[in-house]
Every structure is written in structure tokens, then in C-alpha cells.
Amino acid sequence: MKKYQALFTIRFSSGLQYRAAALGGIATQFAWGFMELLAFLAFYKANPGAYPMEFSQTVSYIWLQQAFLALFMTWFYEQDIFETITSGAVAYELVRPIDLYNRWFCHSAANRLARAVLRCFPILLVAFIVPEPLRMSLPPDLGQFGLFMISVPLSLGVVVAFTMLVYISVFFTLSPIGVRIVAALLADFLAGGIVPLPFFPDVVRGVVEILPFAAMQNMPLRIYSGHISGAAAVRGLFLQAFWFVILVVLGRLWMKLALRRAVVQGG
């Protein structure tokens, strides 16, 4: 356990070094969230009755989404890992006395966390002071906030476990680009990255709400604003834990299979 902790700390602090890059990211994400919200506001004004959540809930959803983009976005991959696999350098990794799945998992999770920590505070700060109706509100009560705090790490776990599957697929395809883009975009859409799940047509929504993607950003962002609360929120946490376990188990099995037939190319 200690070595994974060390690994996590190293990755985390090296991720914290890129402050100038973070500055650019913060500006982009803030502007992005702002435009996103203005569009939702236009729809809200067009017909408040058809709007499936309170507008303030959308506001919290979008701001949190932008602030924690690095934690939840499915299209953020570790380039190093792809290169390790395609270049054959993975052979070095295999001789190390450390489990490869755990190592990569730590690596991705730490990097995401570092990026999110660098970016989230300025975005949230501004989100809390911009004028109404775009101002972010606090969660309805402390309990709800607690549920949110449990949901965030679970969500990160599900996202990383999902990207692990994409990394492992590269053992088989060797060309990461196609699979990577398709998987990332589909997951992003089904997780509510483009339009929050409550806006999906009801027929589609019934299915989408129980997929592993619903256990990604969808859950914490809706729990924060109280759109999912009480028993439903607890059920949501269980859904997240369930998919987390399933994805990790799948990933580990698949990795075992991949490594058994891995051929190290070159000398």
C-alpha cells in the first residue's frame, strides 16, 4: 500500500507544477461554463415548464462540471501509458515489483486530482460571486454535501477504471486513436457531459440512468444541487460502487489476458 501512496504523491506533486497551463485552463473553463449556462438560460426562458430541473440546479451542475473537469472528463488520457504500450516499454514495467494495474490506476487518479485541485478553486470562487441567475448556490443541507463528498471519489474511481479499459485495449489494437476517441465521446455523452441526463428523452433516460456512465459525473453533480437526494442519492452511491467494482474486476481480468499474450517487440 505504501508504494502506491508514494507513487500517488509523486504524480500528484508533479502534476501541481504546471501552474501557467492551469491558468489558461481556468480561463477557458470559466468562459465555457458561462456560455453553456447562457444557452440553458435561453431554453429555460423559452419554456420554464418543460425544464426538467430547477435552473439553479443546472447552474451548480455546470459550474461544478467545469471546476472538476479534470476529475471527470473521459477524454483525458495519460499519453505516457499509450506510449509505454505501443513502444514496448511496458516490458520494463513488468519487471518491477509492483502491480501494473494499480500503478496505472494511481498514476491516472493522481494526475487528474492534481489538475482538478489547481483549477477548481478559482472557478468555484468566481462562480459564487457572478450575478444571479448564474450564481452558484450552496448544497441544500450538510447531509447532501456529505453524500456529494462520497460521490466524488467514487465517480473518479469509475472514470479511471473506465479509462483503464481503453488503455488495455491498446494491447490488442496498438493504434489507440480510433478506439480512444469513440469510447471517450460516447462515455462523455452518456455521463451527461454535453447535456445533463435529466434532459434526455424519457425513453432513452430509463436505460441511460443505470449504465456505468451514469455513475460518472452525473451522480455527484446532481447530488450536490439536491436534484438527486435522500434515498435516491444513497441508491446512486450504491450504483457507483457497483460499477466501480465491476469495471475494476473486468479491467484486471482483461489485463491479465493481455499480458499473457503480450509480445514485446524490439530489443
Q: Which residues bind other proteins (CB under 8 A)?
A: 18, 20-25, 27-28, 31-32, 35, 38-39, 41-43, 46-47, 50-52, 175, 177-182, 185-186, 188-189, 194-195, 199-201
Is residue 124 within 8 Å of residue 33, measured between CB atoms?
no
- Residues 6+ positions from 124 with CB-CB distance below 8 Å: 63, 64, 67, 136
Distance CA 117, CA 68 (A): 8
What is the Rg, in whole angstroms, of the alpha carbon atoms belonging to the chain? Answer: 19
Closest CB 169 distance from other proteins, rounded Å: 12
Instruction: Please say which residue, 72 or 244, places its beta carbon nearer to other proteins.
Output: 72
Closest CB 35 distance from other proteins, rounded Å: 5
Instruction: Please say which residue, 70 or 248, places its beta carbon nearer to other proteins.
Output: 70
Closest CB 96 distance from other proteins, rounded Å: 30
Instruction: Please say which residue, 165 or 179, places its beta carbon nearer to other proteins.
Output: 179
* Nearest CA-CA partner of 104 in 148, 152, 170: 170
Closest CB 82 distance from other proteins, rounded Å: 13
Instruction: Please say which residue, 124 or 179, places its beta carbon nearer to other proteins.
Output: 179
Closest CB 120 distance from other proteins, rounded Å: 16
Instruction: Please say which residue, 184 or 248, places its beta carbon nearer to other proteins.
Output: 184
Distance CA 32, CA 116 (A): 16
H helix or E strand, kind and range, residue 61: helix 55-67
Instruction: Please say which residue, 20 or 231, places its beta carbon nearer to other proteins.
Output: 20
Chain Cα centroid distance, residue 44: 27
**What single-letter DSSP state applies at residue 264?**
-
Is residue 32 within 8 Å of residue 127, measured between CB atoms?
no
Is residue 64 within 8 Å of residue 193, measured between CB atoms?
no
Closest CB 192 distance from other proteins, rounded Å: 10
* Nearest CA-CA partner of 229 in 127, 167, 145, 149: 145
